Structure 1
Amino acid sequence: MKKITIAIMIIAIFLAGCSRQSTTEQAEKEYKIGIMLSDAGLGDESFNDSAFQGLEQARDELGVLFDYKEAADGNYEEKITELVKEKYDLIIGLGFSVKDALESVAKQYPEQQFLLIDEQSELENIISLTFKEQEGSFLVGMVAAMASKTGKIGFVGGVDTPLIHHFEMGYIDGAKHYNPEIEIVTEYVGSFDDAEAGSAIAADFIKNDVDFLYHAAGFSGFGMIKKAEEAGVFAAGVDSDQFFIAEKTVVTSMLKNVNTAVFQIAQTLQEEGSISEKSYLFGLSEEGVGLAPIRNITLTAEQQAAIEKAQEEIVSGKITVTSEKENSQ
C-alpha cells in the first residue's frame, strides 16, 4: 500500500511540474501577429492607424511582436501568403476588402489562424470581429442635428456596401431622433482613398446649405473634412478622433475602437496561446464604439442629457438602431 501511495505522489509531483513548465513556456513565448492593412494603408488617420496603434500597445505592454503589409496594387492574397510563410501565430485581415483574399489563403493553410476585422467568415480557421457602427453613428447624428443651423446635414460614404450602411443609417436615425424635421443628404465616393472626390462631394453639399458633414470614407473622408474646414462648416470624423485634422471644424468623431479590440485579441493570444472564440461583436456596451470629446460647439445641459439618455437606451435595448437599408444587397 505504501508503494502505491508513494507512486501516486511521484506522478502528481511530475504532472504538477509539467503543468508549471507548460505555463512558464507559454508565458515566455514571444507571440507574433501579422496584419494585412486595408486599401488606404498606414497613415489614413482612421481605420488602419487605429489597428496599428492596438498592435503597438500590445508590443509595448505585452511584448507581442508584429509586422504589417500593405498592398497598393490590391494584391492582398500575395501579401497575406507572405505573412503565412513568415510564421505568425495570428494573421489579421483588416477590412471587408481583404475578405476574399484572406479566405482564399485560409483555405490553402487550414492550420493557420486568421482574424477578419469588419466582416464575417464561415471558415473554421478565420475568427470574425465586427462592430455596431450604427450605435456610435446614432450619437454623431444627434450631435449633427444639435449643431446644424440650416437644418441640413450630410453623409459621405466610401464604397456603397452593407458595412458603410451601418454608419449612414445610424447617423440618420440619431439625427431624426433629436430633430424629426432634419434633412439628411448622402452620397458615396466609390473609394476609400480619393481625397479629391471626397472634397468635391463636400463642396456640392455645402453649396446646398449643408452645414454639418459626417463620413465613413477613409482617406476620401479626409478630403471631406478639409473642404468643410475651408468652407467654415462643421464636420465629424470616424474610427479615430480626427479633431487634429481640422481643429476648428471637427466637432466630434465616431470612435470605432479597433485599437482596443486588436489589443484585447493580442492579450487573449498571449494568455491562451490561441483564440478559441469564433466571433466577436463590439458595440456601445462593450466600449467598441463611442463618441470622441465634443469640441467647437457648446451643448446645453438638456442636449448633453439627451445624448446620455439615448446611449443608455441603446445599451438597454430600448432604442434599436437601424443598420441596414431596405432592399440593400
Structure 2
Amino acid sequence: MIKFYFKKMIMLVILSLLFLVGCNDQKVSNEDKVVKVGIMLSDVGLGDQSFSDMAFTGLERARDEMGIEFNYMELNGDSSYEQGLTKLVEEKPDLVIGLGFAMQEDLEKVAKAHPDQSFLFIDGVSELENIHSITFKEDEGAYLVGVLASFTSKTNTYGFIGGMDVPVIERFRQGFEHGIKRMKPDANLLVDYTNDFGNQKKGEEIAVKMMNEGADMIFPAAGLSGLGAIHATAKHDNVFSFGVDTDQFFFAENTVISSMLKKVDIAIYQAVKELNDNGKLLEKHKVLGIKENGVGLAPIRNTQITPTIESEIEKAKQDIINGTVTIKSE
C-alpha cells in the first residue's frame, strides 16, 4: 500500500513539473514573438523627403527600439496599390499600413478580401471593422505657418501650392489662410495646384508665376512637387518659403523660414508600440492635432524672431488647444 502511494506521489510530481515547464515554454514563446509590419508607401515612395520618408523613419525607430520586423512596398511601373497591399498580406504580418488617402479604394478592397488581417490607414478613415485610422489636423499646423508668414511678408501677398484639390490638402490651405488673416485681414492669397505630388518642375513653375504676381511667402503642400517650389524661391531675393511634413530647411537654407510638421513618424511609431505592448490597436480612429503633438512648427530661421512673433505664435497655439479658435471648412 505504501509502495503504491509512493509511486502515485512521484507520478503527480512529474506531471506537475511537466505542466509548469509547458507553461513556462508558452510564456517564453509569447514574450519572444516578434511583431511584423508591412507598409504600402504613398505614390512617390521613398525619397519624397516628406510623407513616405517619415513613415519609414518611424518604422526604423520601432525596429531599433522594439525589435519589430517590417517590409515595405512602393508603386513601381504598372503596379497598383492593390497588388502591393496583397503581397504584404500574403506575408502574414500583424499589421499592414496603407500610407496616404489615394489608396483608400484599393485598401478597402484588400481588407474586405482578408477580414482577419489588421490594417492601419494613414490620412483617411474607413468604416471597415479591420481598418484602423490615423488622421491629422493639418489646418492647425498650417494656421501657425500663416501667423508666422504674416509677420515676415513685405508685400502682403502669399502663395499656397497644393498637390491636389482634395480634402486633406484643403485643410493645409484653410489653416494657412486663416492664420494669415488672423494678423492681416486684407492679405492676398494666391492658390494653385500641381495635380501631381512628384513633379518638381510643375511646383517650380507655379512658384515663379506666384512670385511674378507679388507673392513673397510661399507655402507648398505638394510632396516632391513642393520642393520644386522651395527651390524656385531660393533663386530670388526677398522671397521665402515654408516646408511641409518634415523640417525642410536643409533643402534650401537661404529661403525656408520654418516647416509645418506633420508627425507621421511619431504616429506610426506609437501605433506599432501600442500593437507591440497590447497585441492590438486600441482605437478605431485617432485624430492628431497640436494638442496631441501630431502637428506643429519646425525651428524658425531666416527671419528675426522678435518677442512679438514668439508671443503671437504661442497665443495662436494656445487658442487652438483651448478651443478659442476653430478653423471652419469653406
Query: Normalised by the size of structure 2, how large is the TM-score?
Result: 0.91
Cα displacement (A) at 1:27:
2.9
Q: Would you say the 8 A contact 1:27–1:270 is kept in 2?
A: no
Q: Measure, in 2, the Cα distance between the counterparts of 1:210 and 1:250.
A: 15
Q: Would you say the 8 A contact 1:26–1:273 is kept in 2?
A: no
Cα displacement (A) at 1:299:
2.2
Task: Name 2:132's counterpart in structure 1.
Answer: 127
Task: Name 2:279's counterpart in structure 1.
Answer: 273
Task: Name 2:109's counterpart in structure 1.
Answer: 104
AA partner of residue 311 (structure 1): K
SS of structure 1 residue aligned to 2:235: helix
Q: Measure, in 2, the Cα distance between the counterparts of 1:36 and 1:266.
A: 15
Q: Would you say the 8 A contact 2:249–2:256 is kept in 1?
A: yes
Deviations, residues 98-127 of structure 1 (Å, cap 9, x unaligned):
111110100000000000000000000000
Task: Name 2:120's counterpart in structure 1.
Answer: 115
Cα displacement (A) at 1:69:
0.5
Cα displacement (A) at 1:231:
1.9
> Which residue of 58, 62, 66 maps to 1:54?
58
Q: Which consecutive residues of structure 2, in runs of 5 or more, have no partner in the other structure?
A: 1-14
Q: Would you say the 8 A contact 1:195–1:223 is kept in 2?
A: yes
Q: Would you say the 8 A contact 1:189–1:198 is kept in 2?
A: yes
Q: Measure, in 2, the Cα distance between the counterparts of 1:239 and 1:52.
A: 13
Cα displacement (A) at 1:25:
3.4
Q: Measure, in 2, the Cα distance between the counterparts of 1:65 and 1:267.
A: 12
Cα displacement (A) at 1:22:
5.8
> Which residue of 70, 90, 95 maps to 1:66?
70
Task: Name 1:192's counterpart in structure 2.
Answer: 197
Task: Name 1:261's counterpart in structure 2.
Answer: 267
Cα displacement (A) at 1:23:
5.6
Q: Measure, in 2, the Cα distance between the counterparts of 1:51 and 1:277.
A: 19
Q: Would you say the 8 A contact 1:154–1:214 is kept in 2?
A: yes
| Residues 27 and 146 of structure 1, relative CA distance in 2, 3 Å threshold | farther
Give runs of aligned pairs for residues 29-44 of structure 1, distance below 5 A. Answer: 29-44=33-48
> Which stretch shows the higher mean deviation, 231-240 or 249-258?
231-240
1:315 and 2:311 correspond: no
Q: Would you say the 8 A contact 1:27–1:271 is kept in 2?
A: no
AA partner of residue 136 (structure 1): G
1:155 and 2:180 correspond: no
Q: Would you say the 8 A contact 1:283–1:289 is kept in 2?
A: yes
Task: Name 1:28's counterpart in structure 2.
Answer: 32
Task: Name 2:12's counterpart in structure 1.
Answer: none
AA partner of residue 244 (structure 1): F
Task: Name 1:289's counterpart in structure 2.
Answer: 295
> Which residue of 217, 221, 224 maps to 1:216?
221
Q: Measure, in 2, the Cα distance between the counterparts of 1:306 and 1:132.
A: 20
Q: Measure, in 1, the Cα distance between the counterparts of 2:113 and 2:41.
A: 20
> Which residue of 65, 76, 85 maps to 2:81?
76
Larger Rg: 2
> Which residue of 196, 205, 209 maps to 2:210?
205
Cα displacement (A) at 1:282:
0.6
Output the aligned Cα RMSD.
1.9
Q: Which consecutive residues of structure 1, in runs of 5 or more, have no partner in the other structure?
A: 1-9
Q: Measure, in 2, the Cα distance between the counterparts of 1:41 and 1:23.
A: 39
Deviations, residues 257-313 of structure 1 (Å, cap 9, x unaligned):
000000001101111112132111110011000000000101210121010011011
Task: Name 1:3's counterpart in structure 2.
Answer: none
Task: Name 1:138's counterpart in structure 2.
Answer: 143
Aligned length: 313
SS of structure 2 residue aligned to 1:280: strand
AA partner of residue 132 (structure 2): I
Q: Measure, in 1, the Cα distance between the counterparts of 2:165 and 2:264.
A: 21
Q: Measure, in 1, the Cα distance between the counterparts of 2:311 and 2:263.
A: 24
SS of structure 2 residue aligned to 1:307: helix
- Give the percent of matched residue pairs that are identical in Structure 1 and Structure 2: 47
